[in-house]
Structures are given as C-alpha cells and as structure tokens.
Amino acid sequence: MSHTKFSPSITKELGYYVYLYTDPRDGQTFYVGKGKGNRAFAHLDEDSEHEKVKIIHEIREAGLEPQIEVLVHGLEEEASLRVEAAVIDLLGKDKLTNKVGGYRSSSHGRMTLEQLRAIYEKEEVTVTDPAILIRISKLFRHNMSPAELYDATRHAWPVGDRANQIKYALAVYDGIVREVYEVSTWLEAGSTFLNKKPSGGRGVEKRKEFVGRVAAEEIRKKYLYKSVSNYFKKGQQFPFTYVGLAE
C-alpha cells in the first residue's frame, strides 16, 4: 500500500477530515490541516519556504518520515474547518507551523468564560477616566499571551500631544475591552523592547508607543470585558479614540 496516496475505497469513506503531522524525533505535532481525498499527503512534495516544509526536510535528512495521522474523518466541510481550528487552538499556534489560527477562531475559538460572556452579553460601560481606547482588530487572538496583548496594544500609534493626558489605555477587540493598562509615558515607536513585534504592517515613522503596566484590579474590574463600542462612530476606521480628556 502506498504511503503517499489513499486507495479509492478509502477516499470514498473519508469525506472531509482533519489530519496531523508529527515529528517522530520528539513526538511533537507541528502541523494541523483539513481536506479530503489525498490532501494529507500534499505537503510531502511541497517546495516552499513554509516552516512545515523545512521541518519535513529536517526529518528526512535524519533518515525518517513525518508521522501523518487522521484525527477525525467523515465530516462535512464546515465541520472540518471548525475541528481544525479547535485543534490549533488547543495545541497552540505558537507551537505549530500553521500560519493562521483557523476558521473563525478569533470569534468562535478557544476563550475563557469571561470572554464568552462578554461577546454575548455586551454590557456597556461608561469610561470616566482619561483614557485611550485602542482597537487591535487585526492582531487579536483570544488565546494570545499577556505579553503579546500588551505589545499589540501599546505599539505603535500616531498620537499627538493629547496623549500626555492619558492615564489608561484600553485594549479593544470587537467593541469589548480585553485589558486595561496604566500608562506611564509615551515614547518614540520602536525605542523600547517588544517581546515580539506585532505583525500587521504598522510603520513606526511619526508614531509613538506607551510604556505602562496592567492597571490596578479595581480599575480592571470597572472596564474589563465591558462594551465600549458606543465610543466608536459607525463606520469609523481610525483605530483609537480619546475619552475624558480636556479639550
């Protein structure tokens, strides 16, 4: 039996499925995919700069082959997309070579109960402190680390002199506050250490980033997981807005 092709009788029964690529050298899964037919074998002959391809080459140079497993099969396409995304969330995208988090993972993926309640309850809050509300829509993931969330929120924005009045910065995704930071100061963008520079194409010219810390618990409880969507005008594209500052 070929190890790079399913027989017609198997493909007939498989339907859509979710598959895993595991490194036999350490037993670590390094890629999660979904497909039908012989999709699970497609990466073995892939010629690209993708990280999974590099790992496959390293495995073969060691005289081995990647272990391919079908995690679940007999699915409709929609279900396979959701299972793939759930597995990526569970294993952690930072531990895989997958470039994206999976189907609708930012809105329906792994999250805490507080995050889930925030999505569907959408309790509005009035911001009574001098603050900047920063939307991080392109960068946000529910399972991102505290350091990733901090860097995505603080770097890098075209703020003016009014930013010096700001006491708190609220990280906002989908209209919901995801974290609250107490701002110490604003500096030239790129002048401070970033755990991992956020992707998304933000330049740093004429932009600033703040340095601060997670706000006191009483402030976090006041705003965290509450809706501030009413502070952004319908159709507003600009990623941040000031609240409670002197004119």
At 205-223, the pLDDT tens digits run 789 999 999 999 999 999 9
- Spatial distance between the Cα atoms of 137 and 133, rounded to a whole number of angstroms: 12
Strand order in the sheet with 28-35: 28-35, 16-23, 67-75
Give the pLDDT mean for 99-122. 77
**DSSP-derived 3-state class of residue 30:** strand
The domain spans of the chain are 8-108, 113-243
pLDDT at res. 2:
44
Q: How confident is the model at residue 121 (pLDDT cuts 50, 70, 90)?
A: confident
Which CATH homologous superfamily contains domain 8-108?
A: GIY-YIG endonuclease (3.40.1440.10)
Give yes or no for residue 28 having a pLDDT over 70.
yes
Terminal C-alpha separation, the chain = 75
pLDDT at res. 1:
36
**DSSP-derived 3-state class of residue 211:** strand
Phi, psi of 158 (to 5 degrees): -85, 60
At 154-176, the pLDDT tens digits run 999 999 999 999 999 999 999 99
pTM: 0.66
- Spatial distance between the Cα atoms of 174 and 193, rounded to a whole number of angstroms: 27
